[in-house]
Structure 1
Amino acid sequence: MEVDSPPFDVDAVILGAGAAGLIAAIRAAELDRRVLLLEKTRRPGVKILMSGGTRCNITNARGLRNLGVISGPIDPAYDPHEARGAQSIQQAFGAGGRFLGPALRALNVERTIALFESEGVATKVEGNGKVFPVSDRAADVLHALLQRLGRSTAEVRCNSPVREVEPLGEGFAIRLADSTVTARRVILAVGGQSFPGCGTTGDGYAIARRFGHTIVEPKPALVPIRVTESWVPELKGITIPDALARIQGPTGPVLLERREAVLFAHFGLTGPAILDVSRAVARHQGPGLLDLVLDFLPTEKRETLDQQLQSACRAGRRQVVGLLPPTIPRRLAESLLAASGIAPDRMGPDLSRDERHRLLTGLKALRLPVAGTLGFAKAEVTSGGVALDEVEADTLESKLCPGLHFAGEVLDLDGLIGGYNFQAAWSTGWLAGSSV
């Protein structure tokens, strides 16, 4: 008796071999689906290799209930009592956090870490709950994924850019340069537009639009900020480990704030606090310019600092620059004096009340007009993408086109720095792979 051939070449074609696509392929193949993973560049996981300064911040332990899955050291600065399960991860995504709920239930932080540990990647927890491989090698994270994928039946094809995805009966035809592949389902996991050198050039948006999806305008997020003040680049290399960064209009409310490290650079400012508030710069559509407002001493009240500065000024004839708290680097102190209109050799006893108040403002609320960001070329993630209200959160399947699923950065999901965006990629990839 002749057996009918399958109606499609494969059960699922996964577009994009980044974090979300690799996990989706692993999961679908382990569920006995016939899987083809297509990557347009010459090798998978390029962005994984670049991430976290080539260390790869796998996830964040603030969503971890069981620290026992961590085999490596745990930074004393991390407070395990802050962990609140999936809710902690969801909060990092703001309005999009609720959509992530089902994906995080499918693959939570604990299971994510256990997955990498089971493939030989020992993990550790650093400050603010950031989880890294003990080796500090992103290559080990990618190797673990490829190792597990290699044990499955999934086929991987690199150098295979997709020209078009078309409906074909109850499935899809995926047009490549030299062939066409048919599939019952498609998972779109090609990323956004951040770090376009990795191949993430927004290809997925055109495919999604082809099937009627709305694309929230992509903007660069987790990206360094440029400022107009010419003296800021002169402080290149200075890091303030604990600062509060705010984005606000000249007279408007605070749009976003974050307390973390701030780093001065030749173009302006970067560091975790700056990258996190950059989302507000990218998404700003109102009138007028924005200001980056910096508090270099977030643990100190202005009134307390004022009293301390007055006492120091009365204590003897020392230059004001030497009277500032030791956590303020000398070069920054000199620049703050200049920005406050105070002579560099001003002596403490001669400091006027008005000068003292201007200096305190420089320390606690330094306003730097924002000139923009470094754009997608230096953005770690994309803000914007496929509109979430057109996607089923429980399966990541399109509400407009049955059989089309989404995973990772192509969705309108972007979270804080610290491993949150990788966790969203792992979890949405796993859920999409479970649903095909």
Structure 2
Amino acid sequence: MLCATKAAERGKRVLLLEKGPKAGVKILMSGGTRCNLTHDASASDIADAYARLAGGKEGKTKARFLRPALSRLSPDGVIALFEAEGLRTKIEPTGKVFPASDRALDVQRAMLAMLDRAGATLCLNEGVESVERTADGYTVRTTKRTIVTPKIVIAVGGQSYPGCGTTGDGYAWAKALGHRIAPPRPALVPLTSTERWSAELQGVTLPDVRVRVNEAAAKPVADRRGSFLFTHFGLSGPAVMDASRFVTERPTSGWQAVCDFLPGVDDEQLLNELQNGRNRGLVNTVAEWAPRRLAEALVARSGAPPDRMLAELTKSERRGVVDGLKRSAIPLVGSLGFKKAEVTAGGVDLSEVDPRTMESRLAPGAYFIGEVLDLDGPIGGYNFQAAFSTGALAGDSL
């Protein structure tokens, strides 16, 4: 919608095709129906976050690709855009930016108002069936008609939340234009486990947990810190969901999440507390550091009797309790899939798209923006920011 708005503001004739009965459905679902618009960070910080999440060469590629778009529309620019529409925003302690009303509907309405005022034409209930490159540009066949146009923008998202209409259609169109597609997979998705003790803790939340995800005995591929939730199916929360892209990339039976439930306290401090507490009960002491249900579970797993006083603990029992608090390994078996994934990892190969314009390097006149690209960022408004930035840049480049 933002891309269409920007192009129409420049006097372009713009037709926006939406296969569903309303535009911006994913906006309405995002952020727990509050819509996390962006993150309170600089443009450079947003790019760096993409680099850190993916890591290595892949992360550097994603960050480098995003920088021109972020220069065109930064997080401050997104906030200013919506506040100019009368939509006040607020920044939460986590850095997430939401509408002050906490209503995603207000974001959708603001975008529709911008689109209408710019003069773009929105066609609902008109899905695209095929895209073909021709001598005159592109032939787009929809469920209602055939359109010939010199330029197209593919902005259909990935495969996450398919109930919103994001069913991966854009990948076939991109392939038809000669593009390579990095295999799509769920990202920012809860992870599943068959571990009984963690399932029995369903509903227990912690505000600050360090989660390291590794395969078998390998080094961690992800090291994230944030809020954490035990569920009946496994694990959720930002710390887990940020790491999920690696688990879904190589589904095996060897993944595990190693959880540090007290990342701000080191082993030595905890051992000293347990050694010097003397006449205090073990479970009650651990429950001062973690939710009681988790404290009881960790003590049970340590092998120490739950009714033991601190003065009665052996050295190995103290070490077992601390290991549970700092290094609980929870085996992972998979994820909840695209139906519960907030974004899609994978997509149109970035090397085949010009980051200065979002135009295809293979098919001039075709543009790719947002989640259809091989771009996935951390939780917290980063993915919306990338969509807004790439959309604004393409709209200015058409």
SS, match of residue 254 in structure 1: coil
Select the residue among 301, 305, 312 that pairs with 2:266.
301
Q: Which residue of 1 aligns with 2:138?
A: 172
- Which structure 2 residue ranges, 5 or more long, are not aligned? 52-58
How far off is 1:267 after superposition?
1.1
Matched, 1:205 2:164: no
Distance in 2 (alpha carbons) for counterparts of 1:267 and 1:92: 29
Q: Which residue of 2 aligns with 1:401?
A: 363
Select the residue among 330, 343, 346 that pairs with 2:305.
343
How far off is 1:109 after superposition?
1.2
Distance in 1 (alpha carbons) for counterparts of 2:289 and 2:99: 30
Q: Which residue of 2 aligns with 1:88?
A: 45
Q: Report Cα offsets for 1:285-335 as digits up to 9, x if no partner.
A: 6x76011011010011111111111111x2x1x431011262301100011
Q: Which residue of 1 aligns with 2:54?
A: none
TM-score (norm 2): 0.95
| Amino acid paired to 2:288 | P
Matched, 1:368 2:330: yes
Write the mapping of 1:149-168 to structure 2, written as runs, cut at 5 A.
Answer: 149-168=115-134
SS, match of residue 127 in structure 1: coil
Matched, 1:56 2:35: yes
Matched, 1:30 2:9: yes
| Amino acid paired to 1:275 | M
User: Quick one: structure 1 residues 386 and 321, their matched pair in 2 at CA, closer, same or farther if it must change by over 3 Å?
Assistant: same
Q: Report Cα offsets for 1:135-172 as digits up to 9, x if no partner.
A: 00001111100011111221101111111111121411
| Amino acid paired to 1:131 | V
Alignment check: 8 A CA contact 2:224 2:239 kept: yes
Distance in 2 (alpha carbons) for counterparts of 1:23 and 1:435: 13
The share of aligned pairs that are identical, in percent, is 51
How far off is 1:351 after superposition?
1.8
How far off is 1:373 after superposition?
0.8
Distance in 2 (alpha carbons) for counterparts of 1:373 and 1:359: 29
Q: Which residue of 2 aligns with 1:18?
A: none
Distance in 2 (alpha carbons) for counterparts of 1:372 and 1:361: 25
Matched, 1:386 2:348: yes
How far off is 1:359 after superposition?
1.1
Distance in 2 (alpha carbons) for counterparts of 1:54 and 1:423: 17
Alignment check: 8 A CA contact 2:287 2:295 kept: no
| Amino acid paired to 1:46 | V
Distance in 1 (alpha carbons) for counterparts of 2:360 and 2:301: 53
Alignment check: 8 A CA contact 2:253 2:332 kept: no
| Amino acid paired to 2:271 | D
Alignment check: 8 A CA contact 2:179 2:349 kept: yes
SS, match of residue 32 in structure 1: coil
Distance in 2 (alpha carbons) for counterparts of 1:343 and 1:284: 39
Q: Which residue of 1 aligns with 2:148?
A: 182
Matched, 1:433 2:391: no
SS, match of residue 186 in structure 2: strand
Write the mapping of 1:226-241 to structure 2, written as runs, cut at 5 A.
Answer: 226-241=192-207
Distance in 1 (alpha carbons) for counterparts of 2:173 and 2:206: 43
Select the residue among 127, 134, 138 that pairs with 2:100.
134
Matched, 1:191 2:157: yes
Distance in 2 (alpha carbons) for counterparts of 1:180 and 1:170: 14
Distance in 1 (alpha carbons) for counterparts of 2:299 and 2:271: 15
Distance in 2 (alpha carbons) for counterparts of 1:249 and 1:168: 47
Write the mapping of 1:97-136 to structure 2, written as runs, cut at 5 A.
Answer: 97-136=63-102
Matched, 1:311 2:273: no
Residue range with higher mean Cα deviation, 318-327 or 379-388: 318-327
Distance in 1 (alpha carbons) for counterparts of 2:304 and 2:334: 28
Q: Which residue of 1 aligns with 2:314?
A: 352
SS, match of residue 22 in structure 2: coil
